[in-house]
Structure 1
Amino acid sequence: MNAHDLDETDYPEEITSLPDTAPCAGKSAGRPRAADKEARQQALLQTAGRLFLDKGYGSVSLEMIAREAHVAVRTIYVKFGGKVGLFNAVIASRRAHFFEGMQSMETDMRPMEQVLSDFALRFLELLSQPKSYQLYRMVVGESRTSPELAETFYEAGPKRTRVELARYFDRPDVRAQLRSEFSSDVLAFHLLNCVLGDGMCSVLFPQESALSLEVRQARVKQGLQLFLHGVQRPAL
């Protein structure tokens, strides 16, 4: 997220100054390190995400977020363009956390079942988090009064996931293993549904805790078997 790195000049003067007891007190002020910028940005995104879930998207103002995150309101406008852009960054950051360290599917040359299993385990872990259930319910509940909320959520979350899967299925070596009558978009859609199962019931009747690794592995194994059985070309 280099384009959204927070700079020390984005903060009010009284916030950027360090107390005398700080480890680096007494040193001359300078540009913050990249790690510090990233930490500050993540703190802002975490604060915004918590407020959105606790109070609802429509009830949260940028002033409220800025006050709790100890940043200037103009920081949010400059870096994210406003509340919609900030919400988009919250979704993108949360998604990136669960897919961190995963090799790009467009260049991952492992067998298809291994690549899809790796993806599906991370995908199911993300969607089985209690915060994910809260997020889905908030988006559905406020989509009429805040249509930009639903559009932003779809673009940053579900659509991005489907696009990445479709690109993988479009790879010539992968495409050669799959039945030609199914488009890459259809393949992506059905893979997600095979892995997720009855997703709407999960949103309406959420778990109190995330699914265990054993449960996720069992669901992914069964879902992939169902998916591959229906879409793979028969062996010659």
Structure 2
Amino acid sequence: MSAVKDADKLMNNVQPEANAKPCGLTPKGLERQKRILDAAHEVFLEQGYDNASINEIMCRAGGSLSTLYRLFGNKLGLFEAMMTQTSNRVFAAFEAVECAAKRGDSPDQALKRYGHLLLERVLSPEAVGLYRLVSMDCSSEREHIQSLFYTQGPKRINEKLSAYLQQQVEQGVMQIRDTEMAAFQFLEMVKGNFQLRALMGMSISDDERNKAVDQAVDLFLYGAIAR
């Protein structure tokens, strides 16, 4: 076995220490952490979790394996940190949905804003790459990786919308039996087959996106019965 594979195997088997979290870092340490996470993002998306080499990551980031171990514990710890960083970058904008009601938006306006934001973020190259990475992973850590992605992405998005819908129910604006399920249903109506098409490299026009959001909001709020 090569030295590279020996090092990767060692790092895969190392268990993170309780104090392995990157806390209390100096500005120089934060910059080093960022370089490692950026390099990890590139390598994981290019090669997948199982094939990704920590040596390759550190070659791109600069630094030693001991630094990686000190900051992230092991390869899985590094992946988790990369996933959290990427998810925050892609999905943090959804936090704003909590302010929709305070701004006085109607449900129609709030849902359309949310729908357009969903397509903008979910169909971004970064999000598509992350989804491809997770869906195609065949490593021994597959269940953990997919659970992490679900929590950081789909579940996080859905919780924000569900909270908004529950607020509308409590205010007597909407009648929904299960706001969590309703949120997922709305999001799936908006996405349609767009995410699959993006995974296959197919283009999606602005006109298609606009129509998808408008029709999803109409169906969600008013149903398909002629009014």
More helix by percentage: 2
Let me know the Cα RMSD of the aligned residues.
3.3
Residue of structure 2 aligned with 1:150, choices 136, 146, 151: 146
2:213 maps to a residue whose letter is: V
Cα distance in 2 for residues equivalent to 1:60 and 1:162: 30
Of residues 98, 102, 108 in structure 2, which corresponds to 1:106?
98
2:215 counterpart (212, 219, 222): 222
State the distance in 1 between where 2:93 and 2:184 align. Answer: 24
Percent of pairs identical after alignment?
Answer: 28
**Cα offsets for 1:29-77 (capped at 9, x unmatched):** xxxxxxxx4x665543332111111111111133332231124444444
SS at match of 1:178: coil
Deviations 1:79-114 (A, max 9, x none): 444433433343343343345566632333222222
Equivalent residues, number: 200
Q: Tell me whether 124-133 or 152-161 shows the greater mean CA deviation.
A: 124-133
Q: Which runs of 5+ in 2 are unaligned?
A: 1-21
Q: Give the TM-score normalised by the residue count of structure 1.
A: 0.68
1:202 equivalenced with 2:197 (yes/no): yes
- 2:173: which partner in 1? 177
* 2:162 alignment partner, one of 162, 166, 174: 166
Aligned equivalent of 1:97: 89
Q: Distance in 2 between matches of 1:227 and 1:218?
A: 14
Match status 1:47 vs 2:39: yes
TM-score, structure 2 as length reference: 0.70
Given that 1:98 and 1:122 are in contact with CA atoms closer than 8 Å, whether structure 2 keeps it comes out as no
State the alpha-carbon separation in 1 of the partners of residues 128 and 208 from structure 2: 18
Give the equivalent residue in structure 2 for 1:13.
none
Return the alpha-carbon distance in structure 2 between the equivalents of residues 117 and 82 of structure 1. Answer: 42
| Cα offset, 1:124, TM superposition | 0.8
Q: CA deviation at 1:188?
A: 1.2
